[in-house]
Structure 1
Amino acid sequence: MENYVSINSDRLWARLNEVGHIGSDPRGGISRFAWEPPYKEAVMLLIRWIKEAGLTARIDTVGNVFARLEGDDPHAPAVLSGSHFDTVPQGGCFDGLAGVMGALEALVAIKESGLPHKKPLEMVAFINEEASQFLGGTFGSKAICGMLPDDYAFHLRNRQTGQLLSDAMREFGMGLDPERLTESKIDPHAYCGFLEMHIEQGRYLLDADKPFSIVSCVAGIKQFYLHFHGTAAHAGGMAMSDRHDALAAAAAVISAVENLAKECSKDTRGTVGYISVLPCEHNIIPEDVTISVDFRETEDMKWEKLYTDLIEVTKQECAKRGLSWTVETTCDLRPAHCAPELIHILEEAAVGTGFEKDRMISFPAHDSMNMSRIMPMGMLFLRSSNGGLSHCPEEYTTRDDLVIGTQILTNALFIAANREN
C-alpha cells in the first residue's frame, strides 16, 4: 500500500482492546451503555489518550467526544471521522469502536509524522447510537445535526429503570446539560466531509474473501406498526362469511411484505419481526392484531413505493373483512447516498492493496446517515470474521483487517485534508 502516513498498528490494537473491554458483562460480551458508569470510564480513557497525543479534546452538551488536530489553514473547513462508542447488550468490541479508534489513530499518526496538511482533522465518538437503554437510535449524530427538539431529554426515559435522560445526563457530569441539548448542533460550514469506518456486520466480505469495501449507499429504512381492529367471536359459531378476522388480514399483509420486497430488487429487505394477537386463544376469532414492518431500500422512489404499496394492500385486506386499521411510524430515514468525491478519495487511499473498486450497500443504519443530511459523507466497511456475526459476544474483526482499514482511513483523511475543495 502507498502509505501517506504510516499508523502504529500495535498501539491501535492495544487501545481498541483496552477500551473495548470496558463494560464487560458477566453474562458474556460487552454492555457499555450511554451515560452509565462504564461508559464514563471509557470516555475518560479516550480523552486521556487524546490529550496525551497533544490533540485538543472536547465533549459537547450531550456527550459526544471530539479530538482535533489543527491544519495549516485555521479557517479551512475540517474533515471529520468517527463512529459510535456505545454497545448493544452483550455486544462485541468492534461495532462502532473500530471507527472511533481508527480515526483517533489516524489523527495521532498524522500529527506524529509532522507532515503538513491544510485542513483541520477531527475525530468524533458518538453517544447512544445503539440506544440500548434510552431508545431512539443514532442519538449523538442527531444532536450534532440539529434533529432533536429542545426538550427531548425531559421526555425520554430509560426503558429498564424509568430514569429521565435529563437526570442521567446530569449524573454523568463532564459538562453535559439537558437544558443546552441543542448547543451540540455543529455548523455544517465548519466541515467539508465525514468519513466513517465500520465493521460490515454481515458476511458479504467474508464470503468474497475481501478485507474491506467502500460503501455506496446506506439503505433507507421505514419501520412502522400496523394495527388491525376486528371483532372477536366464537371460532365454531361464526360463519366465515360473517367474520371480521383481524389476524386473517394481518396474515395477508405479512405475505405482501415479503412479496413486495422480493419484487422490488434482489437487495431489498422486507421484514415482519413482531406480532401481537388478542385475545390469542385457539377457539376465538382474533379481534386486535399488531404487526411490525421493516423495509430497507437504496433507491429513493422504490423506498417510498414499498410503503405506499403495502398501505394499499392493507386498505384492501381490511375492506374485505370490514376492519378498521391504523399505522404508527417509528422510523422514517431516507436512503443516504455516499458522496462521489469521498468515494474517489477512499479509492485513491486504497491504491496498492489490490482493491478492485468493490462497492457495497449498508443495510444496517449508521450515524453516517444523519451526517449525510448536512455534509458530504463516505463509509468504509471492514470484514466481519467469525461468520460475519455482530451484536453478540462472538463479534470479531481480525487485527490485520483492522490495520489495513485504518491505514486506508488515515490515507483518505490525509488526502482530504490537502485537497483544495
Structure 2
Amino acid sequence: MSQLVKINEDRLWSRLYQVGAIGADPRGGVSRFAWEPAYRDAVKLLINWIEKEGIEWRIDSVGNVFARIEGDGKKEPVVLSGSHFDTVPQGGFFDGLAGVMGALEALVAIKESGIPHKRPIEMVAFINEEASQFLGGTFGSKAMCGMLPSDYAYQNRHRQTGQLLCDAMREYGMGVDPDNIEKSKINAKEYYAFIEMHIEQGRYLLDKDIPLSVVEAVAGIKQFYITIKGEAAHAGGMAMKDRHDAMAAAASIATEVERLAYTISPEARGTVGYIESYPGEHNIIAEKCIMPVDFREADYEKWKEMYDQLMNYTEQECKKRGLMWSVNYTCNLEPAPCNKEVQILMDSIAKELKISHNKMISFPAHDAMNMSRIMPMGMIFIRSSNGGVSHCPEEFTTKEDLVRGTSLLANTLLRMASEDILL
C-alpha cells in the first residue's frame, strides 16, 4: 500500500475562514467579485500563505493564480487542482473556495510529508467563474483552455456600471493584461490531469448521510431564449379561433419543457425561469413572449434529444397558432464525463482512508467542464450541510467533511503525481 499524506485540519479550516471573510457584504454574506479591490485583497493573502510555505507562484494574464511544487522527474506533465476564488452576490464561504483552499493544503501537506513524487503538482484559483459582474461564467478556465477571443475584454461590460472589462483589469493590476488574454492558454501536453473539489450545492449527500462523492460526470447545459411573436388584440373582442396568442404558445412550451425533463431521463433537468409578456395587460392578448429555457443532462444523446424535441414541439405550437418564433442561444456546454481511471483511483483511496462515499452527477456547471476538453478530469463533491443551500450566506460545510474531502484530494494528487494512473 502506498504512503498516505495527512493534512493539517486546523490550518485548512483557519485559512478558509480568513480568506472567506474578505468581501463581506453589509447586506449579508460575501460579495467577492473578480478584479475588484476585495478580490485583490484575497489574492494577496493567498499569495502570502503560498510564499510562507516556500512554494512558487504566478498569476497569468487574466488573473488566475497558480502555486506549484516540483516533482523528482524530468519534463513530467503536471497534476493540477483547484476551483474558483470569486463568489456570487451575498454568497457564502465554501462555494469554490473549499476547492482552492483544499488544493493549497494538499500542496503544503505533500511538501511537508517529504513523500517523493515524479510529477509536479499545481494549485489554481480560477478567476470570475461566477461572472457576477462581468457576465460569461467559468471565465478563468475558458481563458486557460483557449476558449475566449483575443478581444473579449473589449466586448464585455460590467452589468451594472457599463465599465469595459479591459479597464477593470487595468485598474486591478496584479500583472493581468487585457491585451494578451491568449497568454493565459496552457499547453495541454504539459498537464497530466485536473481534479476539482467542490461542495455539492444540494442535499443529495445530506439526505443519504454520506460525506462525499466521486463525481461521474458534469451534465451538459443548454440555455437559450425562445421569442414568440403573435398579434395583440382585445381579450373580449377577438374570438378564440381568430387569435394569434403568443402567451398560449409560451405556456404550452413551458409545460413541454417540464414533461421532457421527466420523460427523457430520470436525472434530467428542464427549467423555464419566467415568461416575459408584451404588452403585459390583463385584457390584451399577448403580442410577444420571451422565455428562457435551461436543459441539463449528463448523457449526450439524451441531452441533445431534449432540445431537438422541444424545437419540434415549438414549431408545431407556433404553426397551429399562426405565430413566428426564434431562438437565441446563451450557453451550449456538452456533457463532461469524468475520467474512468481517475474515478477508480479516488474510489480506491477513499476506501483506504475509510471515508464513506458514493457516485453522483454534477448538474451545476464547474470549471472542470472546460478543463475536461483538454485533459483527463475528475471531481470530488463534499457534503453541503445546513439544508444543502448554497449561493447564500447560510451556505455551510462541516470541518469534518472538508477535511475528508481534502484528504481524498491530497492523496489522489500525490498518487497521480507518483504513478502512471491514466491508460
* Fold shared per TM-score above 0.5: yes
The corresponding residue for 1:376 is 376
Q: CA deviation at 1:406?
A: 0.4
1:195 paired with 2:195, answer yes
> Partners of 1:145 and 1:319 in 2: how far apart?
42
> Partners of 1:110 and 1:276 in 2: how far apart?
53
Pairing 1:133-172 to 2, within 5 Å after superposition: 133-172=133-172
1:262 paired with 2:269, answer no
Q: CA deviation at 1:3?
A: 6.4
The gaps in structure 2 that reach 5 residues or longer are none
The corresponding residue for 1:330 is 330
> Partners of 1:79 and 1:138 in 2: how far apart?
20
Please tell me whether the aligned partners of residues 2 and 352 of structure 1 are also in contact (alpha carbons under 8 angstroms): no
> Partners of 1:275 and 1:175 in 2: how far apart?
43
The corresponding residue for 1:343 is 343
Q: What is the DSSP-based 3-state SS (H/G/I as helix, E as strand, rest coil) of the residue aligned with 2:351?
A: coil
Q: CA deviation at 1:352?
A: 3.6
> Partners of 1:214 and 1:130 in 2: how far apart?
23
Q: CA deviation at 1:2?
A: 8.5
> Partners of 1:104 and 1:293 in 2: how far apart?
37
The corresponding residue for 2:284 is 284
Q: What is the DSSP-based 3-state SS (H/G/I as helix, E as strand, rest coil) of the residue aligned with 1:82?
A: strand
> Partners of 1:70 and 1:321 in 2: how far apart?
65
Q: Quick one: which amino acid aligns to residue 308 of structure 1? A: D
> Partners of 2:28 and 2:3 in 1: how far apart?
38
Please tell me whether the aligned partners of residues 81 and 196 of structure 1 are also in contact (alpha carbons under 8 angstroms): yes
Q: CA deviation at 1:69?
A: 0.4
The corresponding residue for 2:29 is 29
The corresponding residue for 1:81 is 81
Please tell me whether the aligned partners of residues 245 and 285 of structure 1 are also in contact (alpha carbons under 8 angstroms): yes
**TM-score using structure 2 length:** 0.98
> Partners of 2:358 and 2:19 in 1: how far apart?
31
Q: Deviations over 1:230-288 (max 9, x none)?
A: 00001111111110000001111001000011001111100000210000111100001
The gaps in structure 1 that reach 5 residues or longer are none
Q: Deviations over 1:129-174 (max 9, x none)?
A: 0000000000000000000000000010000111100000000111
Q: What is the DSSP-based 3-state SS (H/G/I as helix, E as strand, rest coil) of the residue aligned with 1:361?
A: strand
> Partners of 1:185 and 1:383 in 2: how far apart?
32
Pairing 1:5-404 to 2, within 5 Å after superposition: 5-355=5-355, 358-404=358-404
> Partners of 1:3 and 1:63 in 2: how far apart?
35
> Partners of 1:282 and 1:357 in 2: how far apart?
53
Off by >3 Å, runs of 4+ in structure 1: 352-357
Q: Deviations over 1:9-61 (max 9, x none)?
A: 11000000000000000111000000000000000111111111111100000
1:416 paired with 2:416, answer yes
> Partners of 2:249 and 2:205 in 1: how far apart?
39
> Partners of 1:341 and 1:193 in 2: how far apart?
11
Q: CA deviation at 1:348?
A: 2.1
Q: CA deviation at 1:351?
A: 2.0
Q: Quick one: which amino acid aligns to residue 393 of structure 1? A: P
> Partners of 1:222 and 1:3 in 2: how far apart?
43
Q: Quick one: which amino acid aligns to residue 290 of structure 2? A: T
Please tell me whether the aligned partners of residues 194 and 375 of structure 1 are also in contact (alpha carbons under 8 angstroms): yes
> Partners of 1:353 and 1:316 in 2: how far apart?
56
Please tell me whether the aligned partners of residues 2 and 351 of structure 1 are also in contact (alpha carbons under 8 angstroms): no
> Partners of 1:146 and 1:362 in 2: how far apart?
24
Q: Quick one: which amino acid aligns to residue 178 of structure 1? A: P
> Partners of 1:274 and 1:73 in 2: how far apart?
55
Q: Deviations over 1:74-101 (max 9, x none)?
A: 3000100000000000000000000000
The percentage of counterpart residues that share the same residue type is: 65
Q: What is the DSSP-based 3-state SS (H/G/I as helix, E as strand, rest coil) of the residue aligned with 1:358?
A: strand
> Partners of 2:302 and 2:356 in 1: how far apart?
29
Q: Quick one: which amino acid aligns to residue 52 of structure 2? A: E
Please tell me whether the aligned partners of residues 350 and 357 of structure 2 are also in contact (alpha carbons under 8 angstroms): no
Q: What is the DSSP-based 3-state SS (H/G/I as helix, E as strand, rest coil) of the residue aligned with 1:350?
A: helix
Q: Quick one: which amino acid aligns to residue 125 of structure 2? A: A
**Root-mean-square deviation over aligned CA pairs:** 1.1
> Partners of 1:78 and 1:99 in 2: how far apart?
18
Q: CA deviation at 1:208?
A: 0.4
Q: CA deviation at 1:73?
A: 1.1
Q: What is the DSSP-based 3-state SS (H/G/I as helix, E as strand, rest coil) of the residue aligned with 2:305?
A: helix
> Partners of 2:145 and 2:245 in 1: how far apart?
45
> Partners of 2:314 and 2:272 in 1: how far apart?
14
